[in-house]
Homo-oligomer: A and B are copies of this chain.
């Protein structure tokens, strides 16, 4: 990675004197950004650009450059890459478009390049991107004319060049600037995870913003992010069709990609932002200490802005603790009318001695019970401007020295925003609501969930392996096998027996106890209910006999001739609440587990919690209690609680099972009946699909 950001020398391939030539823009940007390394324009027609001679071929290079940037028509790129390889150039950026994004022919070109970089050990950024920037050394490789952004502390990874440039422009306009930037393009070789790892280790970077339209390896992203000590902002414009996966189970149809992404980001401590505007809000807290708690003090020169700040605090879960008595007294004494309210938010509109403000800020900065300060600052009249500016400078210094997070908005006089941003290099929020949102984003990273503890589920693994051996059509395990599997995982299943004749059904029912329910089971029968293959609440021998007959008829209609079918007899279980325990494989993040309201409620309540597997029992418990159903079974209004420990271990076990057996595509235990008391759970139905 290093040479993509700190090259001592750069060759720019594809340059000509032609006014319409794009590659010469790269040379122009390098010069405009003050790049100090060697620049070698290369292009077959020669000539000179910005006073630098254009070499007609790479072979004319006087040295092995650290980095070659290629912007030629796509069809020439493989040859240029090969030339680079032969000359020992190990790092290449390809900005040309016309590859995989345009179809078959482009894909073939990419394959060719892939083979070349493998052979020569080249690392390649792009194609179809705009290269890299590093404002520490004036490296600026986009081909389109770019006013160099100021040097900042945030680094950017963007899948889209256009979005990347747009964000650079805004980060600059908001006074934040940028440290490093990489445009992923088609991700032929270098992908986001590797760049993210590099930025997380980079001393110049305090936070990373990723704009992505798809994930190369979501699971790896989670691993990288889990180790991070810097904020990661992810804007994932995830516009693929909703998972079309034949919605066989509730788990598949309900756990849309969006939910998996949300859950995964929360688990890894990645702040998922939905818009560019949100990224700008978050970025304004970069380079400040993180907000470690909920207690905010608002100092405001405008009463109204103080009210808006208080409203925003409530929206974002911040508290406004009362001021310490001596501080409240001091403010009261200093006010002109002596009637000023010294509650938090503090309305300082009646105090015209700015040294009071600075004194208050000093106290707050030293107070360990204050997690962040919001200052609504602004001189009201021209004559007080200089005093006000001196005050705000002091306040910023106090906060920095004390390591106290400080957000500032400016009331009314927008020129003061410019002063803070341009003169004091302090990014300023436009409105109090944005400022509080910014503090909340900062707090997010101090609330990262703990990494999962090692958890070894107690299962009968030999039986699990044996049962997984024989899936039916479409990969579904026959119902008896599915139930046995679940039972082998240590998750209780309602008693059941298999019958192939009416007589066997009667014996089973007598054995299990009335009333019973009966289900038709056959390898190719997936939609039991729709086929009339489920009968509930059979209370007498007569009903069981008649029921078996009806199921046999259903089998005649829905099971292909020659295929064996069975009838499953189960006691009719009453009472308790119905939940779902589910698992499936997400294309980005791999195995995920789901808990929520079960039975007919699953679809209507959408009361589900979701995690990327594996999870430990503690996390499973958190997950269960995130749902309303979880709170119900944990015992509300004097009801006896269910055994959440046991249920949590069952869910954690399911998550480990999914990780251990990659052939399992989906598990859907719905309903699982949960009763008060120890181990009180019973699985009543199970679907398991292998793939």
Binding site for B on A (CB under 8 A): 19, 25, 98, 102-103, 144-145, 158-166, 169-170, 173, 211, 213, 235, 237-239, 274-277, 301-305, 307-308, 310-312, 314-315, 337, 339, 349, 380-383, 411-414, 430-434, 600, 603-606, 628, 631-632, 636-637, 639
Contact = CB atoms under 8 A, between A and B. Distances in A.
A353 to B, nearest CB: 14
A237 to B, nearest CB: 4
Given A170-B430, A380-B144, A308 B411 contact: no
Specify which of A102, A166, A169 lies most central, judged by the most chain B CB atoms within 10 Å of its CB.
A166
Given A162-B411, A170-B414, A600-B636, A307 B213 contact: yes
User: Would you list the 4 A-B pairs with minimal beta carbon distance, nearest first?
Assistant: A160-B304, A162-B302, A275-B433, A163-B304
Contacts of A277: 277, 430-431, 433-434
A279 to B, nearest CB: 9
B315 A163 contact: no
Contacts of A628: 604-606
9 contacts: A19-B383, A162-B301, A162-B412, A163-B308, A164-B304, A213-B307, A238-B311, A277-B277, A605-B628
A160 B412 contact: no
A439 to B, nearest CB: 14
Contacts of A170: 414, 430
Nearest to A183: B304
Nearest to A410: B166
A414 B238 contact: no
A281 to B, nearest CB: 9
A169 B637 contact: no
Nearest to A307: B237
Contacts of A412: 144, 162, 165-166, 169
A603 B636 contact: yes
A230 to B, nearest CB: 24
Contacts of A337: 98, 102
A576 B603 CA distance: 19
Contacts of A430: 170, 276-277
B304 A158 contact: yes
Nearest to A339: B102
Contacts of A145: 381-382
Given A145-B381, A302-B163, A628-B605, A275 B312 contact: yes
A164 B412 CA distance: 8
A123 to B, nearest CB: 24
Given A144-B380, A381-B144, A302 B166 contact: yes
Contact of A600 (B276, B308, B637): B637
A283 to B, nearest CB: 14
Nearest to A273: B433
A411 B304 contact: no
Nearest to A315: B274
Contacts of A414: 169-170, 173
A174 B634 CA distance: 52
A303 B160 contact: yes
Nearest to A433: B275
Most buried by B among A276, A600, A606: A276
A433 B274 contact: yes
Given A162-B411, A304-B213, A305-B162, A239 B604 contact: no
A237 B275 CA distance: 24
Contacts of A25: 381
A308 B310 CA distance: 32
A584 B383 CA distance: 53
Contacts of A310: 237, 239
A75 to B, nearest CB: 13
Contacts of A103: 339
A305 B314 CA distance: 33
Given A102-B339, A169-B414, A628-B604, A307 B239 contact: yes
B381 A308 contact: no
B302 A160 contact: yes
